[in-house]
A and B are shown apart, each in its own frame.
Chain A
Amino acid sequence: MTGRPLVALAALAFAGPALAHHSYAMFDNTRLVVLHGTVMSYSYVNPHAWISVSGSADDATPAARWDVEATSPLVLANLGLKPENLKAGDKVTVALRPLRDGRFGGSMVFVVTADGVAHGAKPENLGLDPAKLKP
């Protein structure tokens, strides 16, 4: 991986069982990558939505396409990410658990939309300053 993942060691709070489509094993949940970039596409599909972002990890690397897997549309809607909340061209900040194999992909932790609202996990629970995450 060319990115420089930011490692967050946080006291991880309870999360209930969620929809299982494939194993979580391919993601490294000890690492957190924070991407700053632009939405290329937002596929609001079952069983899991995908957010493709052109961006760089922590502003320290050349921009690349990152494919971020989100949870199911129903759960995403509950998190405030409906189809209309994200579209190609939007500036975003996305936190993800990266794939272990080094490809540019991962599992969504939170998405900060252009209005500065974080959807998903709370950044402060991961030791991040929400003020610095506004895209």
Chain B
Amino acid sequence: MQQPILAAAATLAVLATPVWAQPGGPRGLPSPEVIAGASSFKPPHLADYARKLASQPDITGAWKPLDPADAGPGPLFDPEHGVWSGKLQPGEATFGPLPGTYIRDIPYRPEYRKRYEALVKETTEGKSRDTFAACFPFGVPRMQGATPVSFDIVQAPEIIDWNNNYGRSQRRIFLDGRPHPAPEAMDPTYSGHSIGHWEGDTLVVDTVNLIGGYYDETPAPYSDKLHMVERIRLIDTNILEDQMTFTDPVMLEKPWVVTRYYQRWFGQGPGGGMPRDKVPPPPPNKGPYVQGGDRIVRDFFELNDRPCVPNVRMDANGFQVMLLPAEIEAEQAKAKGQGAK
């Protein structure tokens, strides 16, 4: 009977000696000698890190998707194959593709082609199932293919981080040679699990483990079995190409290939997807981009890194319901009244 107690005591003893107590000072804090020597300490520099980075193409910075000049309102995942149901006046507020807008030629299996047609019909009737407005994040496909604002890329030797604050999505691409985790070892996420490697100057990224969702707002669905392979490369100093190949054994009958182009965003215009012929030319290449990137990332965060306060909720049938400010104010007044009682 004593052994379990001893074992428990031993465990407690181990827990009571945290591994971060190494600086040798009292209570696990740095020792007085370390603190006294701080001003003369020479920290290691990032030379090795910089050497590893130096061989990568420079894709650091903010990027904005390019849409064809004849594209209609709202970002579509595959604008080259978009069918727009109408146009709005310049200056008129728009909040996405007009109802009835869709992508033709997605190689859906017949039952999911019907499903997509039914979803497009629903939005034509004024009912949308898109959950983004209710503060659900974009998944990685939508972040790449249907973001209305720019995203930014931060490069490191063995990891690349992509941030899309507007879509509340971040992706981390591991370049350290690790495999995907076993499917049973990981719950699916909006951003999935991405591993990548450089093939010459092309970044090849493989993504799995996604929560099923929509490519865009039309809304074109994908399943949680989606497998996404991207070939990402600079085709010009300020133009990035992402050739995406989607394999979805549940919904697609053959792989779907979509190529998107992005222009380096220097803060020109609203961060939205601008038609190709309307994008102002970027300033002359003064490189390195990290310097400009600091300003861009700062502006970007200021503009887009806001808390999500939904004025849209999903109803019991899974459709968006807008809350008007008058209704939100009435709700708040009611809650305040109840709090006072």
Knowing A74-B303, A121-B92 touch, does A19 contact B99 (C-beta < 8 A)?
no
Knowing A23-B128, A105-B324 touch, does A18 contact B91 (C-beta < 8 A)?
no
The CB with the most chain A CB atoms within 10 A, among B94, B96, B149, B312, is that of: B94
Name 28 interchain pairs, CB-CB below 8 A, sorted by A: A13-B90, A14-B70, A15-B88, A15-B90, A16-B73, A17-B94, A18-B94, A18-B270, A19-B271, A20-B74, A20-B217, A21-B132, A23-B96, A23-B130, A24-B95, A25-B122, A25-B125, A25-B126, A26-B128, A29-B88, A70-B93, A97-B92, A100-B126, A104-B324, A107-B94, A108-B92, A120-B91, A122-B91
**Contact residues in A for B130 (Cβ distance below 8 Å):** 22-23
CA distance A1 to B339 in the complex (A): 34
User: B295 at interface (Cβ–Cβ under 8 A)?
Assistant: no
* Minimal Cβ-Cβ distance residue in A for B278: A16
User: A69 at interface (Cβ–Cβ under 8 A)?
Assistant: yes
Q: Which residues of A contact B (CB under 8 A)?
A: 10, 12-29, 41, 43, 46-48, 50, 52, 65, 67, 69-72, 74-75, 78-79, 97, 99-101, 103-105, 107-110, 119-122, 125-126
CA distance A125 to B311 in the complex (A): 31
Is the pair A103, B324 in contact by a Cβ cutoff of 8 Å?
A: yes
Chain B, range 202-219, C-beta contacts under 8 Å to A: 217
Write out, one digit per residue, whether chain B residues 84-104 have a CB within 8 A of any chain A CB (1) or not (0). Answer: 001111111111111100000
Write out, one digit per residue, whether chain B residues 317-330 have a CB within 8 A of any chain A CB (1) or not (0). Answer: 00010101110000
User: B123 at interface (Cβ–Cβ under 8 A)?
Assistant: yes
CA distance A22 to B136 in the complex (A): 11
Name the contact of B88 in the complex, choosing from A12, A100, A122 (C-beta under 8 A): A12
Is the pair A28, B270 in contact by a Cβ cutoff of 8 Å?
A: no
Name the contact of B217 in the complex, choosing from A23, A108, A110 (C-beta under 8 A): A23
Is the pair B325, A74 in contact by a Cβ cutoff of 8 Å?
A: no
User: B75 at interface (Cβ–Cβ under 8 A)?
Assistant: yes
Is the pair B306, A47 in contact by a Cβ cutoff of 8 Å?
A: yes
* Minimal Cβ-Cβ distance residue in A for B275: A16
* Minimal Cβ-Cβ distance residue in B for A101: B126
The B interface is mostly helix, strand or loop, or mixed, namely: loop
CA distance A28 to B130 in the complex (A): 18
Is the pair A15, B73 in contact by a Cβ cutoff of 8 Å?
A: yes
* Minimal Cβ-Cβ distance residue in B for A46: B306
CA distance A48 to B311 in the complex (A): 10
Knowing A12-B87, A20-B75, A24-B74 touch, does A71 contact B325 (C-beta < 8 A)?
no
**Contact residues in A for B320 (Cβ distance below 8 Å):** 22-23, 25-26
User: B231 at interface (Cβ–Cβ under 8 A)?
Assistant: no
Name the contact of A21 in the complex, choosing from B73, B92, B133 (C-beta under 8 A): B133
Q: How far is the CB of A3 from chain B (nearest CB, A)?
A: 15
Q: How far is the CB of B106 from chain A (nearest CB, A)?
A: 19
Write out, one digit per residue, whether chain B residues 108-145 have a CB within 8 A of any chain A CB (1) or not (0). Answer: 00000000000000111111101011000000000000
Chain B, range 302-341, C-beta contacts under 8 Å to A: 303-304, 306, 311-312, 320, 322, 324-326
